[in-house]
A and B are shown apart, each in its own frame.
Chain A
Amino acid sequence: MILLSFALLFMGFAGLSLAMKRHYPQLQPIMEKNSQQRSKQVIIAIRLLAYSCLLTGLFFCINSQGISIGFVFWLGLLTLAALLQAMLLSYRPRWVFGFGLMLLGCTLFSVI
C-alpha cells in the first residue's frame, strides 16, 4: 500500500511539474513534439489529475496505516517523492516518467 501511494505521489508531482512553464520543456521530448502550445484546459486537466493523484496517495496511506500515522506517513512520502522529482528534473529529466512507470510496475508486481 505504501509503495502504491508512493508511486501515486511521484506521478502526481511529475504531473505538476509537467504543468509548469519551467519544467515542461525539460519533459517535453517524450511528449508529442508538436504540442508546443498547450491550451489552458489541458494544463488545468493535468493539474487536476496530479492533485487527485496526491489525494489518492493520502487515501491509501490512511487506509493502510490508520488516520494519524497515515497522515504523517503521507507527509514523509511527499517529501521523498518531491526530492526525487527535483533531483531527476535537475540531472535526468527524461527518466521522470520512466521512473514513475517503474514504480507503478513494482507496485503491481508486489500486489500480484
Chain B
Amino acid sequence: MSWLHTWGGLSVGWLLYFMFITGTAGYFVSEIDYWMQPEMPHLNESAEHGQLLLLAEQHLSRKAPTAKSWRIYLPSERERTLKVRWQDGDGRHKDILHPVSGDVVNVRDTGGGGQLYGMHYRLHYMPRTVAFIITSLCGMFMLIALITGIVIHKKIFIDFFTFRPGKKQRSWLDMHNILSVLPLPFHLMITYSGLIFLMFTTMPAVFIASYGVEEEGQQRFRSELRSTPIPIKATGNRMSLTSLPELLEKAEGSWGQGNVSRVSIEHPGDSQARITLQKRRVDQVSDEQKLIYHGVSGQLLSAVDEVGTSASKSFYALMIRLHIGEFAGTVLRWLYFLSGLMGAGMIATGMVLWANKRRTKADKSGHASKGLILAEHLNVGTITGLPIAIAAYFLANRLIPLGLENRAEWEVNILFITWASMLVYPAFISKFKQVLAAIWVQQLTLASMLYLMLPVINMITTNKHLGVSLLTADWVRAGFDVSMLIIGLCFGVAAFKMQLKKQSAKSQGTAKGAQQTVPTMLAKDVSP
C-alpha cells in the first residue's frame, strides 16, 4: 500500500499539481476573465431582460442571420454583460454586448480565465481526446493515492491537528497529512467527480453497448444525457421568429423574475426554429430545468425537469455541479479555492517528501541516483515554476501588443515557455546539490517579484488599476490586484526565510550544514 501510494503519487504528481493549480484558478474564472479584459466597463446596472433579448436578437440577426444556432446569455450577479454566441459554417463566434445600450464591447483577444482553467482537463497543444485520457489517468492515480493514503495513515484522528514545525522530515509529513486530511471530503469529491466528468471518453464501451456506434445512436445518447432534444434539420423556409420577450415572460411566470439564464435558438429564421430557455441554477446543487418552444408559433414543445427523473442522471449531474461549484456564492467560492490550494499543497509536499527522504540516504552513501536528481529538478521547476508561469500569463495579457495575430494563443505560449524555462534552468545550473537551495530562493524571489509587479504593470498599461478600481468600487478588479499582491508577499516571505536558513546552514560551516537540503529548510518555513 505504502509502495503504491509513493510511486503512484510520484509518477503523475507534477501533472496533478498543474491540474490542481489551474483547476483551482477556475473557481474565479469569471473574475479572471473580467480582469483580463480591461476594456470591459464596470457595470452596476442592466436593462430589463426582455429588452436585452430584443437587443441581442437585433445584433444577431444583423451579424449572423443564417447561423445554425444562436445563444444569448443574460447577465447575472457574476457576469454582468450580455453575451451572444453563434455557430455558422465557419465555426463558433462570440460577442459581448453592453447590457444597457446593446453596443458591442470590443475586448482584447485573450484566453482569459477560461483558457487557464480549461487547461486542467484539456491540457494544451494536443487533441482533446488525448488530453482527456491523460487527465483521466492522472485522476485515477490520484484516487488510488488518496485511498491508499487513508489506509497507510494510521493515526488520522490522533494526528488530526498535528503540525510540528522545525523537525525536518517529520514536519513535511505532518504538513502533508494536514493538507490531505482536513479537506479530504473535497479531495475525494473533486477527484471522483473529475473522473465521472470524463467517463464517456474513458469508458465509451459502456454506453456504446446500449446505444451503438452509429451517429444516430450517439446523438440519441447525447440528447438523453444532456436533456436536449435531438437536433432538428432546417427546412429552408424563412419565417420570422416569435417574440422572445413574450417567451421570457412566460418562463419567468413559473420560475420567477430574472431566473432565465440562457436562451438558445436553433435555426433562427427557419420555419422549424426551436427556442430553449434554461433556468438559472443557483438555488440548488442539483437541478436542471428547461422550456422548449417552437420558434415560429411560440408553442410549448416540451418542459424538461431533470429533478428526480433518473437516479443515475441526477447523480451524474450532482457530481458535475459539485465539481464546478457554479452554485457557490462568494464565501463558499473562497472555501472551494482554499481546498483546491490545499490539494496542490498536498501534492507538492508529497513530492518534496519523496525527494527529501532519498536525499538524506544519498547524502549518507554519497551517491545520488539520476531519478532523485531529476525529481529534485522537476520539483523546483514545477512547484515554483508553474506559479511563475501563471504570473507570466497575466503579464502577457497586459504586455503583448493588442494587434498581434493569434494574441490569445501567444498568451498561452508564454505560459508554457516560462514554465519550460523554469524546468530547464535548474538542469543547467545545479551541477552540485548545494546549489539547489539557491535555485529555490531564486525562483521564489522571481515569483514574488512577478506577482508584485502585476498591479504595477496594470497601472501603467490600463486605466483599470487599483487607484481607479478602489475609487469606483470595482471590487472584482481591485480584489484581483490585491490578491496578486498578497500572493507576491507570500512568495517573498518564503524566499526570505529560505535565504535565512541557507545562510545559517552555511555559517555553521560543517559538512552537514552545507549539505542541508532544500526541503529540510523549507520545512521550517511552511508557516511563519
Q: Which residues of A are interface residues toward B (Cβ below 8 A)?
A: 2, 13, 16-17, 20, 22-23, 66, 68-69, 72-73, 75-80, 82-83, 85-87, 89-91
Contact = CB atoms under 8 A, between A and B. Distances in A.
A79 B331 CA distance: 13
B183 interface: yes
Contacts of A13: 161
Interface of B: 158, 160-165, 178, 182-183, 185-186, 283-286, 322, 327-328, 331-332, 335-336, 338-339, 342, 527-528
A6 to B, nearest CB: 9
Given A13-B161, A72-B332, 9 more contacts: A16-B160, A68-B284, A69-B328, A75-B185, A76-B338, A76-B339, A85-B161, A86-B160, A86-B162
Which of B161, B183, B527 is packed against the most chain A CB atoms within 10 Å?
A: B161
B185 A91 contact: no
Nearest to A21: B158
Contacts of B327: 69
Contacts of A89: 161-163
Nearest to B321: A68
Contacts of B286: 68
B474 to A, nearest CB: 25
B159 to A, nearest CB: 8
22 contacts: A2-B331, A17-B160, A20-B161, A22-B158, A66-B283, A68-B285, A68-B286, A69-B284, A69-B285, A69-B327, A72-B285, A75-B186, A79-B185, A79-B335, A80-B335, A82-B160, A83-B178, A83-B338, A86-B160, A86-B162, A86-B163, A91-B528
Name, among A73, A78, A85, A86, the residue most crowded by chain B CB atoms within 10 Å (CB to CB).
Answer: A86
A52 to B, nearest CB: 18
A33 to B, nearest CB: 23
Given A2-B331, A87-B163, A79 B338 contact: yes
Nearest to B284: A68
Closest 9 CB pairs of A and B: A76-B335, A68-B285, A86-B161, A90-B163, A79-B183, A82-B182, A75-B185, A79-B182, A89-B161
A87 B160 CA distance: 11
Contacts of A87: 163, 527
B525 to A, nearest CB: 13
B161 A76 contact: no
A17 B157 CA distance: 10
B331 A90 contact: no
A77 B185 CA distance: 12
Nearest to B171: A90
A23 B336 CA distance: 28
Contacts of B322: 72
Contacts of B336: 76
Given A22-B162, A76-B339, A86 B178 contact: yes
A75 B335 CA distance: 9
A76 B335 CA distance: 5
A43 B186 CA distance: 30
B471 to A, nearest CB: 27
B368 to A, nearest CB: 32
A76 B330 CA distance: 13
Contacts of A76: 186, 332, 335-336, 338-339
A41 to B, nearest CB: 20
B332 A73 contact: yes
B338 A80 contact: yes
A79 B186 contact: yes
B280 to A, nearest CB: 14
Contacts of B283: 66
A48 B466 CA distance: 49
Contacts of A68: 284-286
A91 B524 CA distance: 12
A20 B156 CA distance: 13
A23 B164 CA distance: 12
Contact of B527 (A72, A73, A90): A90
A66 B286 CA distance: 12
A85 B286 CA distance: 32
Nearest to A82: B182
Contact of B161 (A23, A72, A77, A79): A23
A91 B338 CA distance: 20
Contacts of B182: 78-79, 82-83, 86
